[in-house]
Structure 1
């Protein structure tokens, strides 16, 4: 592998959540609790990660919805849990709790119990289990059916069955997948689905996983377990066992679960493409438009009154991370939205795109320190004027990406810029038309604005029908945290974007 990228640096965990002894807020039944999860890094805005399903009439819920996050041991990653009772009038606050991912990971078996409080009063216990999952490219695709399942709904009813799959880790069964439920069916056949072997058995073919057949009940009643069985991938694929007896919780048979069809699937992942020879081309564009302020004044984002302005800090942190993706540490540097007055540059007047080296044929510098030095040396030779337009930069990046597509070269393009751009529509259309090219575009917001227009790009991509590949990322630069945050973004977003590029070639 040529890059210094190390996949083992990514620690992906999944959070499994439950609560006990929640207060009952209802008069004639029990509360219907659900949980909302929020994620916070000090100095940044809190992020809503999502919510669980509603647990009907249940004061001791085991929520089925899980949450995937990346564990960064060098960061303080705060998790805030809020629990609500869902009722006909809306929702009612039941209590909240807070911890950090590090606190969870340092507990025995990565299992923590937290006191839930409602306005300083105790309101039950929150149980949180963290499970580490490595990136995997081994999957199984299969389909299950049931034969003569036990009736669970009395003499006049049947069973509304669905299957739940469990991973066993550190003494705890963790729910990792479930099928749809089928109404009134003692001989069901569920839809075909696929699941990662990492989630099912940590890629260990001899490690047992559990399958439960459950009868779904209407609101106000607990679901009932019809029966369960345990097996392994080795038994299913190597010993060709495809029929399993369901055993009731108190013993005794409850029907048969049969595997109708099955196959293994190998999906190449980021590491595979790196090992096959994929290399990275790094391009950084810097916004010099007049909206940044005149650098002769201390309030400018590009001020040279101070030795280390925010753009210089951002460039230093970002280039330091990015150089690890190129074996020669080559970084191409461009300016946007200004008039360069370099002695070795022939362009005149306002330029939407110009090389900081002064040479379009040789725009690269070696290493992050040289990138920062080039920025410093050029700052007094640039006249800030006009607006920020991204069209020419993106077109240039897409041309390079298209030319390198057959060479296993993937382009990482980063824009350092303030909020205001004048060609949002053109940018959106370019990203749409270039979504199949081998490049990723990362916009790093510099300054304290809310960057509403830039965030619209993500919403634009997500709203496409049919869906398109998303190769755009945005995050706002935070001083003192930038290297860690950028590294986190790259390790989250870049592998997915590289894989999605190669997957579309297969399709």
Structure 2
């Protein structure tokens, strides 16, 4: 509970040997959502290194309710100078002072040493309220070393630190935008290529026995039943790709599952499932596996409303054998500037290197020298969620959680880059 403390907990590591203790302290964080960006520099700091000058860095401490201090930020080290200018940094107000504007914020100045025995240069204290005055004027702090002050009568200070800039902005959450009326629009695209196997065969990824849904249907239900709670009209455009479609048997990479070109929307996830199963009975699985057409289809719709009132999520379920990688990368890079996210669920045993590349978590996706503005793709392999214990409900809950984990951050990144703030929710 807030403010409570646990007993000293003995550390364990080497059997039979006491390895120290850990004391846990807890304090309830305020719900203050402001974020501070500030920049500091220093002047005439004490020289600590025998060769060269000093390598200064700052350590910020938040004061706790019991009078102790907790580190909340460290700046980078600026090498070989007594007059460093540190890079601007951003920190939540709740981390700096827990929303208490008059609570002490202590800052220590250190000289960095390679062996970790950093030399203490001095310290100064301030508060959020005092720091915030720098919005209209520079604030200069004297860096004091208590030991030097006691020993030297003529001691003045160990240098000064100047707050160059200080700005505050509110941090909005995913829920703020949903409450403010942002509509999530969920579109489904399902892989109907021949590499999935004939739907009538038990080895097919589309095969549904009387006792269990196919991998495609399971993934669709797991993700869709979560996201449909955020989709106000519960109408989901649903497409298939990579099949020959009746009546003329032409290959299509964005055919409506409900066979209605004018209105491809299905009522709820159950409606999508029903149309999916119906399509399996009427189309011929074929190929190639092209993602770009359906991505461009949704991107075209997303481009029509970019004021933050609409956000689109495209769920692609595939066996991962992609044929139009270059065009898909181009489509994703273009879509990255739009209010849109793409979820890819890979089913089956294939290697998914191409999907991992599209995900862009490790390396930002690029096409023809142009980089994606935002990371908008989340990929998960379905096989990672097949629970050996047979607890399908738990497995699908984990799948839904991980698949949807990046959507709030992706939505927020779009809103932030466009400086779109959530509308005020209408009073109930």
Listed one character per residue, the Cα deviations across residues 286-313 of structure 1 (whole Å, up to 9, x for unaligned) are 1111111111111111113343221111
| Number of corresponding residues | 393
Q: Which runs of 5+ in 2 are unaligned?
A: 150-156, 387-393, 421-428
Deviation at 1:317, TM superposition (A): 0.6
Q: 2:193 aligns with which of 289, 292, 295?
A: 289
Q: 2:396 aligns with which of 451, 467, 482?
A: 482
Corresponding residue of 1:323: 228
Contact 1:444 1:474 (8 Å CA) reproduced: yes
Aligned in 2, Cα 1:267/1:139: closer, same or farther, shift over 3 Å? same
The separation in 2 between residues aligned to 1:260 and 1:393, in whole angstroms, is: 49
The separation in 2 between residues aligned to 1:204 and 1:466, in whole angstroms, is: 44
The separation in 1 between residues aligned to 2:39 and 2:308, in whole angstroms, is: 40
Corresponding residue of 1:469: 374
Aligned in 2, Cα 1:167/1:368: closer, same or farther, shift over 3 Å? farther
Aligned in 2, Cα 1:241/1:446: closer, same or farther, shift over 3 Å? same
Q: Does 1:350 align with 2:245?
A: no
Corresponding residue of 2:414: 501
The separation in 1 between residues aligned to 2:315 and 2:123, in whole angstroms, is: 51
Aligned in 2, Cα 1:242/1:441: closer, same or farther, shift over 3 Å? same
Corresponding residue of 1:195: 91
Structure 1 stretch displaced more, 124-133 or 297-306: 124-133
Task: Give secondary structure in 1 for the equivalent of 2:12.
Answer: strand
Deviation at 1:417, TM superposition (A): 0.7
Larger radius of gyration: 2
The separation in 2 between residues aligned to 1:264 and 1:292, in whole angstroms, is: 53
Aligned in 2, Cα 1:221/1:415: closer, same or farther, shift over 3 Å? closer
The separation in 2 between residues aligned to 1:141 and 1:202, in whole angstroms, is: 16
Corresponding residue of 2:320: 419
Q: Does 1:361 align with 2:262?
A: yes
Q: Which runs of 5+ in 1 are unaligned?
A: 1-106
Deviation at 1:375, TM superposition (A): 2.9
Aligned in 2, Cα 1:192/1:394: closer, same or farther, shift over 3 Å? closer
Corresponding residue of 1:450: 351
Corresponding residue of 2:132: 237
| Structure with a larger share of its residues in strand | 1
Q: Does 1:181 align with 2:77?
A: yes
Corresponding residue of 1:91: none
Listed one character per residue, the Cα deviations across residues 446-485 of structure 1 (whole Å, up to 9, x for unaligned) are 1232311111223596154775222111112223433334
Contact 1:319 1:331 (8 Å CA) reproduced: no
Q: Does 1:303 align with 2:207?
A: yes
Contact 2:308 2:339 (8 Å CA) reproduced: no
Contact 1:295 1:301 (8 Å CA) reproduced: yes
Structure 1 stretch displaced more, 316-325 or 274-283: 274-283
> Which structure would you say has the larger RCO, counting Cα contacts within 8 Å and 6 or more residues apart?
2
Structure 1 stretch displaced more, 190-199 or 297-306: 190-199
Contact 1:321 1:483 (8 Å CA) reproduced: no
The separation in 1 between residues aligned to 2:409 and 2:283, in whole angstroms, is: 37
The separation in 2 between residues aligned to 1:387 and 1:414, in whole angstroms, is: 19
The separation in 1 between residues aligned to 2:298 and 2:232, in whole angstroms, is: 20
Listed one character per residue, the Cα deviations across residues 148-176 of structure 1 (whole Å, up to 9, x for unaligned) are 5344346x865332101234568774433
Corresponding residue of 1:38: none
